[in-house]
């Protein structure tokens, strides 16, 4: 399977729906189900070099968070399996977030803005674009702040968010070009729809 073609064939709207469903999925399902779902996503994206490299860098930058979770668990006598489960849920959410921000073309947001110059769709499109642009600023700031304030992990996060928020907003603008969207009816969208329905099924099952 050519991962690049696979991702290009998937419709951005379906990707956003998948991300929203995954937010509930990550918080409600059992850890084994979540782990299996994470492995499926990583296998499907394993040949997408840009995603894998970005994912590995993000995991490495979040390693202090995972270490602090484990240390806090020992201090407050939290069972080790619960600590691992929390780390797993964080990794799953990170993976889904990167999948959305890396594979949805920025021009798609421009299309939404141009077709909806006012209203909630316009605001959501701008929010998603600005968020995707601020994430690299946050990771850069976090690396610097954590090196300066070890081992105060919480302070490093707060300062990093503050610096990222203070990034010159005038430089973060939506691109002017547009993109032609893939058709909804193809095998790649069908596979993504199956994943969405599977997640919804597990979510419903968690309430039964």
Q: Does the pLDDT at position 201 exceed 90? A: yes
Q: Does the pLDDT at position 23 exceed 80? A: yes
Please indicate, yes or no, whether residues 98 and 115 belong to a single structural domain of this protein.
no
Q: pLDDT confidence of 50, banded at 50, 70, 90?
A: confident
Name the residue with higher pLDDT: 131 or 88. 88
Please indicate, yes or no, whether residues 144 and 62 belong to a single structural domain of this protein.
no
Of the candidates 102, 122, 110, 121, the one whose C-alpha atom is nearest the C-alpha of residue 174 is 110
Please indicate, yes or no, whether residues 136 and 150 belong to a single structural domain of this protein.
yes
Q: Does the pLDDT at position 146 exceed 70? A: no
Please indicate, yes or no, whether residues 117 and 71 belong to a single structural domain of this protein.
no
DSSP 107-168: HHHHHHHHH-SSSHHHHHHHHHHHHHHHHHHHHHHHHHHHHHSTT-HHHHHHHHHHHHHTS-
Please indicate, yes or no, whether residues 1 and 54 belong to a single structural domain of this protein.
yes
State which residues form the domain around 117.
Answer: 106-178
Q: Does the pLDDT at position 117 exceed 60? A: no
What pLDDT is attached to residue 135? 59
Please indicate, yes or no, whether residues 121 and 173 belong to a single structural domain of this protein.
yes
> How does 108-138 read in b/e, with b if 16+ C-beta sit within 10 Å?
bbbbbbeeeeeeeebeebbebbbebbbeebb
For 11-26, what is the mean pLDDT?
87
Count: domains in the chain: 2
Please indicate, yes or no, whether residues 111 and 13 belong to a single structural domain of this protein.
no
Residue 13 CB partners (closer than 8 Å, separation 6+):
none
Please indicate, yes or no, whether residues 97 and 61 belong to a single structural domain of this protein.
yes
Q: Does the pLDDT at position 9 exceed 50? A: yes
The rounded percent of the chain whose pLDDT value lies above 90 is 18
For 138-149, what is the mean pLDDT?
61
What pLDDT is attached to residue 178? 55
């Amino acid at each position: 399977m050519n991962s690049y073609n696979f991702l290009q064939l998937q419709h951005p709207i379906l990707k956003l729906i998948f991300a929203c469903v995954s937010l509930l999925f990550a918080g409600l399902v059992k850890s084994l189900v979540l782990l299996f779902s994470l492995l499926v996503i990583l296998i499907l994206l394993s040949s997408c070099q840009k995603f894998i490299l970005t994912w590995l860098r993000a995991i490495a930058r979040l390693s202090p968070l995972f270490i602090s979770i484990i240390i806090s668990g020992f201090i407050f006598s939290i069972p080790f399996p619960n600590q691992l489960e929390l780390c797993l849920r964080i990794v799953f959410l990170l993976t889904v977030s990167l999948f959305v921000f890396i594979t949805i073309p920025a021009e798609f947001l421009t299309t939404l803005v141009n077709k909806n110059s006012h209203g909630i769709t316009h605001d959501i499109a701008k929010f998603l674009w600005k968020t995707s642009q601020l994430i690299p600023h946050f990771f850069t700031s976090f690396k610097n702040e954590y090196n300066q304030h070890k081992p105060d992990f919480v302070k490093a996060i707060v300062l990093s968010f503050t610096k990222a928020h203070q990034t010159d907003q005038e430089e973060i603008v939506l691109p002017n070009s547009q993109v032609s969207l893939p058709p909804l009816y193809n095998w790649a969208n069908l596979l993504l729809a199956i994943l969405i329905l599977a997640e919804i099924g597990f979510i419903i099952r968690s309430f039964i």
